[in-house]
Amino acid sequence: MKKIIICGAGIGGMVSAIRLAHLGYKSEIFEKNNYAGGKMGEYYESGFRFDTGPSLITMPYVLEDFFNEIGRDIKNYINLIPLDNACRYFWSDGVSLNAYTDHIRFKDEFISVFGEEEYSGFLNYLEYGKFFYEMSEKNILQSEFRIRNFLTAKGIKNINKFISGKSINDLSNKFFKDPKLKQLFDRYATYNGSSPYLASQIFSIIPYIEFKYGAWYPEGGMYRIAKALARLCGEYGIRINYGHELSDISSASGNINKCIFTVNDEAQKSISDFDIMISNFTNNIKLTGKEYFKTGDWSSSGFIALIGFNEISDILSQHNIFFSGDYEKEFLDIFEKKIPADDMTVYISVTGKSERNDAPAGTENWFVLVNAPALNDNFTWTEKNKYDYFEKVIDKINSFELFPGDIREKIIFSKIFTPADFLKNYGSEFGSIYGLSSNSLFTMFRRPKNKSDNYNNLYFTGGNTHPGGGVPLCFLSGKIVSEIIRDGNKNAY
Ligand SMILES: Cc1cc2nc3c(=O)[nH]c(=O)nc-3n(C[C@H](O)[C@H](O)[C@H](O)COP(=O)(O)OP(=O)(O)OC[C@H]3O[C@@H](n4cnc5c(N)ncnc54)[C@H](O)[C@@H]3O)c2cc1C
């Protein structure tokens, strides 16, 4: 059996390793950090626990399938809990909407806020998302990216919908009249780090999936998923070498034959006893090739504030969105001017709503996330800029006048992460969350494929490659890579 080296212990890296071990391959993981999970991390301070990356699971069946397919019962590893409310949305004029996961309850809520006609628009919108989902679930999300996968009879008949150039925002304009609903459905573009004014209408698949499969949360926190995967690695005898940062590679005859690691920021170590390499990141130009770095159209990054909040608020649900006043300007700032938006949309996740142990009695753990541009020359996250922006975000939350007084008085502590921290902690390109953005079909096609074009024995897994970002898709990426390796090249393009 061939021996595999996997660089990066993010979700995609660990899932690939486990699936391949289940098929009988021997593999070893090399991870630069001293923990597993990559962007899925956690943070503890003063009796508070926070998930520092993902906060919402939307395709629970993907995780269930993974455990079934390796002959394990998911319940022995992760307890996925359905949420009653996927998100509470707030607008500055006092309007709010609960996205209840019970469809009848949601219908009542939706109609009471936006009326019957808009609800019909919503159902028609979902049909659109359903169409894209059904077209892509097996052929694209669960398979290697191949042009011929699009060329089914139905795909050819509907090719216009795929290449029409219509954006998510165009779709919102088609189905909704109220600007608030347009904003709500446009926001789904941010799930893969894109702008709704640029990204394809194909991504209407995202709200469809959320509506159909609901919103989920693993008991004990999102980080339980990373822990479960690390535990499975142990059970399969897959060693994770922490503190090993890939610094260079060498190759011969189209194959990578040596990986050089910097170990704990000091010594160098070379590994050459492997046949196949899987990379869980795309930050190395020698692996991805120069073309990948040429467009510079990176997906968004994030500005995060972890806040210990000295009150339990009835205003918040587990997931909350406070919308900006001008969405178009917000995305122009992020993707064209490449500066943090002055008038920003603020997401607050409070896992303490499900997990009382995540915060001391009478308090809450607020994970505050704002979309921000990937690192670039137009803005630098100096210490001053970082704290100034934090003040702006707090002002924005205060401006909704939902919390009595200034919320600053209730902040016990705050810990801030900027795009510069994303770069340092995850090694992601320019601090972006998903590598190249999905803002155009052109950049989407430039994302590295699961099987590298540059080396015969190199594969990519994770959110920066096919089928895309987000925890469930990273699980699918690991599945696809393991299947390509299992099947050899027999299904090549
Ligand atoms: C703030 C935030 C919020 C998010 N919210 C959600 C959400 O609600 N729901 C959702 O589904 N998804 C969400 N995501 C996205 C999701 O977290 C990611 O898509 C997913 O975790 C990425 O997994 P991955 O397999 O791509 O690996 P990554 O997490 O990118 O891990 C790659 C690993 O490679 C390591 N590495 C990098 N360079 C090197 C090197 N040179 N040598 C060795 N190791 C290296 C890194 O340290 C890291 O451990 C969010 C992400 C962030 C950051």
The per-residue pLDDT of the chain, averaged, comes to 95
pLDDT of residue 23: 96
- Atom nearest to 52 CA in ligand 1: 1
What pLDDT, in 10s, does the model give residues 418-470? 999 999 999 999 999 999 999 987 777 889 999 999 999 999 999 999 999 99
**Cis ω before 467 (30° cut-off from 0):** yes
CB of 56 sitting under 6 A from ligand 1: yes
Cβ-contact 61, 41 below 8 angstroms:
no
CB of 435 sitting under 6 A from ligand 1: no
CB of 308 sitting under 6 A from ligand 1: no
CB of 432 sitting under 6 A from ligand 1: no
CB of 352 sitting under 6 A from ligand 1: no
What pLDDT, in 10s, does the model give residues 272-289? 999 999 999 999 999 999
pLDDT of residue 489: 52
Cβ-contact 18, 233 below 8 angstroms:
yes
Residues of the chain with pLDDT under 70: 150, 489-493
What pLDDT, in 10s, does the model give residues 55-72? 999 999 999 999 999 999
Q: How far is the CA of 467 from the centre of ligand 1 (A)?
A: 14
CB of 12 sitting under 6 A from ligand 1: yes
d(CA 409, CA 259): 51
Sketch out the chain's domains with CATH numbers: 3-40+221-292+448-491 (3.50.50.60), 105-212 (1.10.405)
Q: How far is the CA of 86 from the centre of ligand 1 (A)?
A: 22
Q: How far is the CA of 329 from the centre of ligand 1 (A)?
A: 28
CB of 225 sitting under 6 A from ligand 1: no
CB of 32 sitting under 6 A from ligand 1: yes
Q: How far is the CA of 337 from the centre of ligand 1 (A)?
A: 25
Q: Strand 26-30 and strand 42-45: pairing?
A: unpaired
d(CA 237, CA 16): 14
Query: Which segments of 298-407 are extended strands (E)?
Result: 301-309, 319-322, 346-349, 364-372
Q: CA nearest 436: which of 452, 425, 451, 449? A: 449
